[in-house]
Structure 1
Amino acid sequence: MKIRIKGNSLRYRLTRSDTATLNSKGYLEDRSDFGLKTLVYAIAVTDDDRLSADYTGDTILLNMPKSMVVELMETEKVGFEDQNGPVSLLVEKDFTCLDNTGEDQSDNYPNPLLVANKS
């Protein structure tokens, strides 16, 4: 799972195993250790019908409806977006990059642009 924060925009990118974990366990988290403090970013599956987010202590928690998790797993849907007060929320599949990168992308979703170029 990756996050990107830019101004009042929060974007989560999920690999195939991330969505599978969310589907089976209902919760996913990762951490960035800054020495004396740790930033925790997580997603919790809810019965709500909209994305929402909370920031408490050193934790950013995105609340994601179960139906959205299932749709990411079972369809070609790329992602979901919503507004939580002043914050724009986006959750999307993490696709393999089009350029060469040193990052392990074996768990990423196949990039639709690469698949289209092979046809």
Structure 2
Amino acid sequence: MKIRIKGNSLRYRLTKSDIAQLGNDGFLEDRTEFTGKTLNYAIMITDDDNLTSDFTGDKIRLNLPRKMIEELINTEKVGFMDQTGPVSLLVEKDFTCLDNTEEDQGDNFPNPLLTC
């Protein structure tokens, strides 16, 4: 799971195993360790209808409706957008990059812009 924060937008990118774990466990969490402080970020499956988020203590949590994770698992749907107050939210499948990168992309989804 990757997060990208830019201004008032929050974007979660999920690999194949991230989506599988969310489908099975209903929860996914990771963290970034800073000197003396940790930023936690998570996704929790909810029975709500809308994508929402909250920031409490040192944790950013995205609340993902069950119907959305089921679509990510069972269809070609790429992602979902919504807004919580001033924060724009996006959760999407993580595709392989089109350019050369050192990052391990073995668990990413095939990029639909690549032709074989």
How does the TM-score come out when normalised to structure 1? 0.96
1:112 is paired with a residue whose SS is coil
Alignment match, 1:27: 27
Q: Distance in 2 between matches of 1:105 and 1:73?
A: 19
5+ residue gaps, structure 2? none
Aligned residues with identical type, % of pairs: 71
Classify the secondary structure of the residue corresponding to 1:20: helix
Alpha carbon RMSD of aligned pairs, Å?
0.5
Structure number with higher helix proportion: 1
Q: Which amino acid aligns with 1:62?
A: L
State how far apart, in whole Å, the 1-side matches of 2:110 and 2:72 are: 13
In structure 1, the gaps of 5 or more residues are: none
Per the alignment, in what secondary structure is the counterpart of residue 113 of structure 2? helix
- 2:112 maps to 112
Equivalence for 1:10: 10
Which runs of structure 1 show a deviation greater than 6 angstroms over 4 or more consecutive aligned residues? none
Alignment of 1:94-113 (within 5 A): 94-113=94-113
Other structure's SS at 1:5 match: strand
Normalised TM-score (structure 2):
0.99
What does residue 39 of structure 1 align with? 39
The alpha carbon displacement at 1:79 in A equals 0.2
